[in-house]
Structure 1
Amino acid sequence: MTTFVDRVELHVAAGNGGHGCASVHREKFKPLGGPDGGNGGRGGDVTLVVDQSVTTLLDYHHSPHRKAGNGRPGEGGNRSGKDGQDLVLPVPDGTVVLDKQGRVLADLVGQGTTYVAAQGGRGGLGNAALASARRKAPGFALLGEPGHTGDIVLELKTVADVALVGYPSAGKSSLISVLSAAKPKIADYPFTTLVPNLGVVTAGSTVYTVADVPGLIPGASQGRGLGLEFLRHVERCSVLVHVLDTATLESDRDPLSDLDTIEEELRSYGGLGDRPRIVVLNKIDVPDGKDLAEMVRPDLEARGYRVFEVSAVAHTGLRELSFALAEIVARARAAKPEQEATRIVIRPKAVDDAGFTVTREGEDLYRVRGEKPERWVRQTDFSNDEAVGYLADRLNRLGVEDALVKAGARAGDGVAIGPEDDAVVFDWEPSMAAGAEMLGRRGEDHRLEAPRPAAVRRRDRDAERDEAEAEYRGFDPFS
């Protein structure tokens, strides 16, 4: 059974926003008291939060689909809907969030740091919020916006100060078990360590963590053995410790060649060239191991390495090693900022971004893409003519009609708003007059009807003026 998972693909779905309400206030002797439809509630967010008590992504490996709560719809009497419940997902310290293409979205470091992985949909406005001096009694409300959905990849990079690297069975697990209180599995066969082990070491006034990385072999950076899966766990470490086996029984291996092989894999993986190195010659309790350590030590020191001869079994040389590591860790911490905060990648828009694009597809189809137009389309109830007119008015004010004219669109051409698999398509009827005057009386939009004669339009305007004056005086001329 899997007990340690450091990479998962997670499908997150934020909550949908609640629909706005179209309602008219009614009471005795006042049947038309004005619009009082409330707004819909906001959909819940899916948020990742660093929790020090969480050390693996195992829960998300078993349950990769996570969804937040939906917002409630608005109600009459100016009652807004309840917001959807946010979904908080605890993740280990050092979790990196990526998209499906492998681009980094956030690097979560530090207890309590957060990242919104999926944002809840906005609640739709009720007709009370849509009322204005020109639109006193809207007969429509906006629909709630769907919450964001998508797939993200979570990768765990162990947050440790020291990383022990080396061949399988070099004694890394034994070393971490005597330096700290960690109890890793120890056996005399290769690849005993299948997951990184963490231990806490106290040396004087310095407390630091040590990570035992599963054994590396030639080709680990290209996927051989277990190295590729766990090389990422050494990226955050302040110092790398080469644990070299001086008592190996393999005739084609020796400490110097082991060191060269591991260094080549670290170079191939990349990004670790600036980390200080320490060499530990392990298993000097074996007579042949002690002789070999004394033989290769001058060569290692000539290369610039600081060398320690230790025995995890006999507890030899451990105190000197632990204090040397504490000294390096303290220097590394002093060189860093006081607190390493969450790194979130922000990709700002261009300064000349109009908020939408218009592209021609085929002979008579134009596609409009943009955050605002697509959101407005999702919020529109197309069964309500007044809501459709309100959408057209918003698109016109944004400049969509001007852009269609510049792109060569003519009356009757098809216009699609949104992506190919989820677009609203309609026949374009240009109307360059923007503003609320584009809308006729409640429930009407002259762009959705046949042209009327000038005399009829004057008569309708006079009727609208009389209706507004009568409403101001407190009576209804059409009763």
Structure 2
Amino acid sequence: MTTFVDRVELHVAAGSGGHGCASVHREKFKPLGGPDGGNGGRGGDVILVVDQDVTTLLDYHHSPHRKATNGQPGAGDNRSGKDGQDLVLPVPDGTVVMDREGNVLADMVGQGTTFVAGQGGRGGLGNAALASARRKAPGFALLGVPGEERDLVLELKTVADVALVGYPSAGKSSLISVLSAAKPKIADYPFTTLVPNLGVVTAGSTVYTVADVPGLIPGASQGRGLGLEFLRHVERCSVLVHVLDTATLEADRDPVSDLDVIEEELRQYGAGLENRPRIVVLNKIDVPDGQDLAEMVRPDLEARGYRVFEVSAVAHKGLKELSFGLAELVAAARAAKPKEEATRIVIRPKAVDDSGFTVKREEDGIYRVRGEKPERWIRQTDFNNDEAVGYLADRLNRLGVEDELMKAGARAGDGVAIGPEENAVVFDWEPTMMAGAEMLGRRGEDHRLEAPRPAAQRRRDREAERDEAQRAYDDFEPF
């Protein structure tokens, strides 16, 4: 049964916003008391939070789909809907959040660090909030915006000061068990350690953590054996310890060649591992042949510039010197580390000249409009309500979408799509000047609140407005 998971795909869905309400206040002797529709509630966010009590991503391996609650719709009498409840998901310290393409969105280090993985949808405005001096009694409300849905990859990278590296069965698990209170699985067959083990070591006034992670073999940087699953957990460590087996029974191995192999894997993997401070531990000197081999190879290793410790995890030899030597390196690494926020959240700001949308003519002749605002406005519009559609046209016109369509060569009757190809709203474009720009300002008004005009006068006014709009359209020269 799987007990440790350090990489998962997580599918999050934030809550959708509640719909706004279109309502007219009514009471005795006040049959038309004005709009009083409330706003919809905001959808809940999906938030990742670092929790020191969580050490694995196992929960998300079993339940990869997570959804926050929706906002409630608004109601009459200016009653707003209840906001959706945020969904808080605890993750281990050192979790990296990426999208499906591998782009890093957040590197979460430190207790309490948060990252909004899915943004809750906005609640729709009720007709009370949409009322204005020109639009006194809107007969429509805005719909709530669907919550953000994302496919994320969570990857755990162990946070520790020291990493023990070496071949399988070199004695790393035994070493961490005697240096700290960790109780890893120990055996003499390859790949005993299948998950990272963490131990806390106290040496004088310095307290530091040591990570024992799955062993390396040639080709690990390309994924052979436990490969990348091992090396990912070494990236954050400040000090590397080469644990070399001086009592191996394999004829083609010796401590120096083992060291060369591991160093090559670290170099190929990159991520700055080749530049980390490192020491060499010659383990298993309690074995007679191991002690002799350690004495033979130590001068060669020291000549290469390594600080060498001879230890025996079984006989508890050389452990005190090793723990204090590691404490010195950890203290130096901490002192050299720049004072900065550990958490890194990637922000990609928009350009200063970004209009917020784009217009592009596609091969089939459709003009596609993409942008956060136009696409959100489309989702907020009730297309069964003519006033709501007119309000959408006004908003798009004020944003400059019509001007850009004309610059792109669009003509009346051309197809225009707003949104991505799989979820777009497509319509035949009619410029607002053709539809009567002067009339657009009247959309959403309740003529029952105005002094009535004779039917003949209203008809003459409409004909005059249409004639004026047609002349303006005929005289317009596209850019």
TM class by smaller structure? over 0.9
In structure 2, C-alpha distance between the alignment counterparts of 1:28 and 1:460, rounded to whole Å:
39
In structure 2, C-alpha distance between the alignment counterparts of 1:147 and 1:407, rounded to whole Å:
32
In structure 2, C-alpha distance between the alignment counterparts of 1:441 and 1:227, rounded to whole Å:
65
Q: Is the 8 A contact 1:360 1:367 kept in 2?
A: yes
User: How far has the Cα of 1:200 moved from its partner?
Assistant: 0.5
Aligned-partner SS, 2:275: coil
Aligned-partner SS, 1:421: helix
Q: Is the 8 A contact 1:158 1:233 kept in 2?
A: yes
Q: In the alignment, what sits opposite 1:51?
A: 51
Matched residue type, 1:380: T
Q: In the alignment, what sits opposite 2:138?
A: 138
Q: In the alignment, what sits opposite 2:459?
A: 456
In structure 2, C-alpha distance between the alignment counterparts of 1:4 and 1:33, rounded to whole Å:
63
User: How far has the Cα of 1:239 moved from its partner?
Assistant: 0.1
Task: Show CA shifts across 1:282-323 (max 9, x none).
Answer: 001111111110110011011010000000011100000001
Matched residue type, 1:356: F
User: How far has the Cα of 1:459 moved from its partner?
Assistant: 7.1
Q: In the alignment, what sits opposite 1:440?
A: 442
Q: Is the 8 A contact 1:53 1:92 kept in 2?
A: yes
Q: Is the 8 A contact 2:134 2:442 kept in 1?
A: no
Aligned-partner SS, 1:351: coil
In structure 2, C-alpha distance between the alignment counterparts of 1:94 and 1:459, rounded to whole Å:
66
Q: In the alignment, what sits opposite 2:302?
A: 301
Q: In structure 2, do the counterparts of structure 1 residues 340 and 174 end up closer, same or farther at CA, with 3 Å as the change threshold?
A: farther
Q: In the alignment, what sits opposite 2:367?
A: 366
Q: In the alignment, what sits opposite 2:185?
A: 185
In structure 2, C-alpha distance between the alignment counterparts of 1:381 and 1:67, rounded to whole Å:
25
Q: In the alignment, what sits opposite 1:427?
A: 428
User: How far has the Cα of 1:454 moved from its partner?
Assistant: 9.8
Q: In the alignment, what sits opposite 1:157?
A: 157
User: How far has the Cα of 1:440 moved from its partner?
Assistant: 2.9
Aligned-partner SS, 1:273: helix
User: Residues 248-327 of structure 1: matches in 2 within 5 Å?
Assistant: 248-271=248-271, 272-327=273-328
Give the structure-2-normalised TM-score. Answer: 0.92
- Identity, in percent, stands at 85
Q: In the alignment, what sits opposite 1:36?
A: 36
User: How far has the Cα of 1:456 moved from its partner?
Assistant: 2.6
Q: In structure 2, do the counterparts of structure 1 residues 457 and 283 end up closer, same or farther at CA, with 3 Å as the change threshold?
A: farther
In structure 1, C-alpha distance between the alignment counterparts of 2:156 and 2:65, rounded to whole Å:
19
**Does 2:198 align with 1:195?**
no
In structure 1, C-alpha distance between the alignment counterparts of 2:167 and 2:259, rounded to whole Å:
9
Matched residue type, 2:142: L
In structure 2, C-alpha distance between the alignment counterparts of 1:460 and 1:42, rounded to whole Å:
44
Q: In structure 2, do the counterparts of structure 1 residues 371 and 459 end up closer, same or farther at CA, with 3 Å as the change threshold?
A: closer
User: Residues 456-475 of structure 1: matches in 2 within 5 Å?
Assistant: 456-458=459-461
Task: Show CA shifts across 1:236-274 (max 9, x none).
Answer: 001000000001011100000000000001111102122
Matched residue type, 1:144: G
User: Residues 102-117 of structure 1: matches in 2 within 5 Å?
Assistant: 102-117=102-117
In structure 2, C-alpha distance between the alignment counterparts of 1:269 and 1:120, rounded to whole Å:
39
In the alignment, structure 2 segments of 5+ residues that lack a partner are 448-455, 466-479
User: Residues 7-18 of structure 1: matches in 2 within 5 Å?
Assistant: 7-18=7-18
Q: Is the 8 A contact 2:390 2:443 kept in 1?
A: no
In structure 2, C-alpha distance between the alignment counterparts of 1:204 and 1:435, rounded to whole Å:
80
In the alignment, structure 1 segments of 5+ residues that lack a partner are 446-452, 463-479
Q: Is the 8 A contact 1:384 1:443 kept in 2?
A: no
Q: In the alignment, what sits opposite 1:214?
A: 214
Give the structure-1-normalised TM-score. Answer: 0.92
In structure 2, C-alpha distance between the alignment counterparts of 1:386 and 1:443, rounded to whole Å:
9
Matched residue type, 1:33: G
In structure 2, C-alpha distance between the alignment counterparts of 1:46 and 1:149, rounded to whole Å:
10
Q: Is the 8 A contact 2:135 2:446 kept in 1?
A: no
Task: Show CA shifts across 1:379-425 (max 9, x none).
Answer: 00000000000000000000010011111111111111111111111
In structure 1, C-alpha distance between the alignment counterparts of 2:410 and 2:15, rounded to whole Å:
37
Q: In the alignment, what sits opposite 1:166?
A: 166
Matched residue type, 1:181: A
Q: In structure 2, do the counterparts of structure 1 residues 266 and 29 end up closer, same or farther at CA, with 3 Å as the change threshold?
A: same
Aligned-partner SS, 1:96: strand
User: How far has the Cα of 1:437 moved from its partner?
Assistant: 5.3
Q: In the alignment, what sits opposite 2:474?
A: none
Aligned-partner SS, 2:256: helix
Q: In structure 2, do the counterparts of structure 1 residues 275 and 250 end up closer, same or farther at CA, with 3 Å as the change threshold?
A: same
Q: In structure 2, do the counterparts of structure 1 residues 408 and 171 end up closer, same or farther at CA, with 3 Å as the change threshold?
A: same
In structure 2, C-alpha distance between the alignment counterparts of 1:411 and 1:124, rounded to whole Å:
31
In structure 2, C-alpha distance between the alignment counterparts of 1:350 and 1:458, rounded to whole Å:
45
Q: In the alignment, what sits opposite 1:466?
A: none
Q: Is the 8 A contact 1:385 1:443 kept in 2?
A: no
Matched residue type, 1:440: R
In structure 2, C-alpha distance between the alignment counterparts of 1:175 and 1:303, rounded to whole Å:
24
Matched residue type, 1:254: D
In structure 2, C-alpha distance between the alignment counterparts of 1:341 and 1:188, rounded to whole Å:
38
Q: In the alignment, what sits opposite 1:101?
A: 101
Q: In structure 2, do the counterparts of structure 1 residues 30 and 184 end up closer, same or farther at CA, with 3 Å as the change threshold?
A: same
Q: In structure 2, do the counterparts of structure 1 residues 432 and 351 end up closer, same or farther at CA, with 3 Å as the change threshold?
A: farther
Q: In the alignment, what sits opposite 1:389?
A: 390
User: How far has the Cα of 1:443 moved from its partner?
Assistant: 6.9
Q: Is the 8 A contact 2:135 2:445 kept in 1?
A: no
In structure 2, C-alpha distance between the alignment counterparts of 1:429 and 1:233, rounded to whole Å:
59
Q: Is the 8 A contact 1:397 1:435 kept in 2?
A: no
Aligned-partner SS, 2:176: helix
Aligned-partner SS, 2:260: helix
Give the alignment's Cα RMSD to 1 decimal: 2.0
Q: In the alignment, what sits opposite 1:475?
A: none
